[in-house]
Structure 1
């Protein structure tokens, strides 16, 4: 465990951002909070620049798609305070029609590639990003492959029929 507990971190964040954070849980000791996209850059900036917290390492930015929920697309930030050996996860959920997020490249240069990957696979548009374009898929691709918008199996595949496997 680090120099401060998750409870102390949560108290400090709630004092700075009252009524803007919701505790999702603490799986495996990782404090997980949810907030709105209007607050995310201020919270990330505070976590990074606060002299006591020092969450200077952006571990990952990714997304998730829950098609059955009202707010389907979620952007997830993982931060690590190397000095204090504490980690935190922040989540922001949005409706499918409004997938615009402010960019974190102003805080971390490494966010550039992570946001491009998140855009490429989930279609999240990071406003203010210096070079938001596909990074792993072809440029003319119109779909976002990590979204759960297509059936898992192609019903027209003939090589998956039972009689090919002696059933």
Structure 2
């Protein structure tokens, strides 16, 4: 299926509110999905015999910058039997406060690889995934403060008496 056919399939299934835009100017086109519907869209794309996106090859947390106050997640899906790829993007505004992490639905129940990808996005970008079965740090120590891939992250001078910078 072409990008436009996949887009139309999703519009027919979920209505106009599920796709909030698209990006077709780059090397790999992307569908901008309403954040709360990402699990529904991924499940449909995986289970529909016309698309069969059976593999989540990558999931990345994105900080769009301090001025934008926007965080997002980029999903790279692949259909191994159909030899096709699709990029999905979701984003929300967030005030960047430590007690109000940007939150998105987990897709770990749809793609098992999302379990570790979502943990990495949580650990490094501070993105919370609702209903994730084991959301905790995966690369940094449990007591690490902050999220190193955020645009406003300030590196600590020391960690447990060891000079970092």
| TM-score of Structure 1 vs Structure 2, range by shorter chain | 0.7 to 0.9
In structure 2, stretches of 5+ residues that fail to align are 96-100, 158-165
1:16-67 CA-partner distances (Å, limit 9, x unpaired): 1221212122522x23011222111100000000011100000111111112
Give yes or no for contact 1:80–1:87 (8 Å, CA) kept in 2.
Answer: yes
Matches within 5 A, 1:1-167: 4-19=1-16, 20-21=18-19, 22-28=21-27, 30-67=28-65, 68-70=67-69, 72-97=70-95, 99-150=102-153
| Larger displacement relative to structure 2 (143-152 or 51-60) | 143-152
RMSD across aligned positions (CA) = 1.9
Q: 2: distance between equivalents of 1:17 and 1:31?
A: 20
With structure 1 as the length reference, what TM-score do the two structures score?
Answer: 0.82
Q: Which range is displaced more, 120-129 or 142-151? A: 142-151
The count of corresponding residues between Structure 1 and Structure 2 is 148
Q: SS at 1:10's partner residue?
A: helix
For normalisation by structure 2, the TM-score amounts to 0.82
Contact 1:31 1:87 in 2 (8 A): no
Q: Structure 1 regions of 5+ residues with no counterpart?
A: 155-167
> In structure 2, how many angstroms separate the alpha carbons of the residues matched to 1:31 and 1:14?
17
Q: Give the structure with higher Rg (CA).
A: 1
The separation in 2 between residues aligned to 1:115 and 1:73, in whole angstroms, is 14
Contact 1:26 1:32 in 2 (8 A): no
SS at match of 1:146: coil
Indicate conservation of the 8 Å contact 1:61/1:78, yes or no.
yes
Shift of 1:82: 1.1
Measured in 2, the distance between the counterparts of 1:94 and 1:40 equals 13
